[in-house]
Amino acid sequence: MSADGSAPSGGAEDPGQLFLEMLAAERGAAANTLAAYRRDLDDYLGYLANGGIDPEEANADQVRAYIASLEPRGLKASSAARRLSCIRGFHRFLYAEGYAETDPTAPVAAPRRAKGLPKILSVEEVDRLLATARERVDAAGDNRSEARAASRMLCLLELLYATGLRVSELVALPRSAAATRERYLVVKGKGGRERLVPLTDLARDAMRAHVALLPADGPWLFPAESESGHLTRQAFARDLKHAAAAAGLRTDRVSPHVLRHAFASHLLQNGADLRVVQELLGHADISTTQIYTHVLDERLKGMVRDLHPLNDAGDYIEVGTVS
């Protein structure tokens, strides 16, 4: 496939588009995932085209050269690894469908990624964020426009911290969610997988108060003048920065994803099982959830410090990371 999207010389169909259609049909890839794959694939194919290389004829050295070219362009190792994952899937598709005789990505190793810990907020910081949001609702008084904006933000915060939803799942909740009598929501996540997420009384109250201020009936819990008809992820992230600043928090430390991290980390701090947190977050693989084990490590060290019988004699030795 050429960089301009035209069909490859080997046939009338565009394997790149067929690859994306396969991801959508066979793996249930969401629109956001497909858009990310499209961007990554276009960048890779443009690189090959500039070198006069047909994707069906690419070799491992050329794939490695492309991956190596990403770092000088400012891409982190994690972004380069994600891009290689896209390229690997594409070339495997070409090979499986007979467009290419080999898969050039087979011997290519992924860039080594640093295992950074996720940014999280403390329980006290989340409490401050929520308290400030409640104060803004009270301060709005009879000003309907301000009350509506403040109520929406409080509802978003209460729901996100109560459920750990992905931001794309949160902003696209149906209005019917506010009418549930259950203490949970059924959410369809990545790959069309459904899961149950908990609802606190505060989250349910915030939903009802928010819906009471909406102007008219509609399908979305957070309607907006956007292409989708509901609040966008970008708009929520922007408004959350303002809410963080009002609460006296550093805005670079607060985002929808950071609150999702806080939900998971605070559950683990209070004794939740890692498998339970995996289910609540909607992770298909527990290895994705294991980034939070640093929280478990700290809790285990605390248990040894507080409960080990030798600690009373002053013989306590701090344990390291549990492998």
| Active site residues per annotation | 166, 190, 257, 260, 283, 292
Tell the residue number behind the tokens 């890839």, with chain if given: 29
Distance in angstroms (rounded) separating the CA atoms of residues 228 and 221: 13
197 strand-pairing partners? 185
Distance in angstroms (rounded) separating the CA atoms of residues 120 and 122: 7
Distance in angstroms (rounded) separating the CA atoms of residues 66 and 104: 12
Task: Give the C-alpha distances (Å, rounded to integers) separating 309 from 75, 318, 320.
Answer: 50, 14, 18
DSSP state of 53: -
Are 183 and 199 contacting, i.e. CB atoms less than 8 angstroms apart? yes
Distance in angstroms (rounded) separating the CA atoms of residues 99 and 94: 5
Are 155 and 206 contacting, i.e. CB atoms less than 8 angstroms apart? yes
Task: Give the C-alpha distances (Å, rounded to integers) separating 268 from 29, 117, 264, 291, 297.
Answer: 30, 15, 6, 12, 10
Distance in angstroms (rounded) separating the CA atoms of residues 22 and 172: 25
Distance in angstroms (rounded) separating the CA atoms of residues 77 and 106: 19
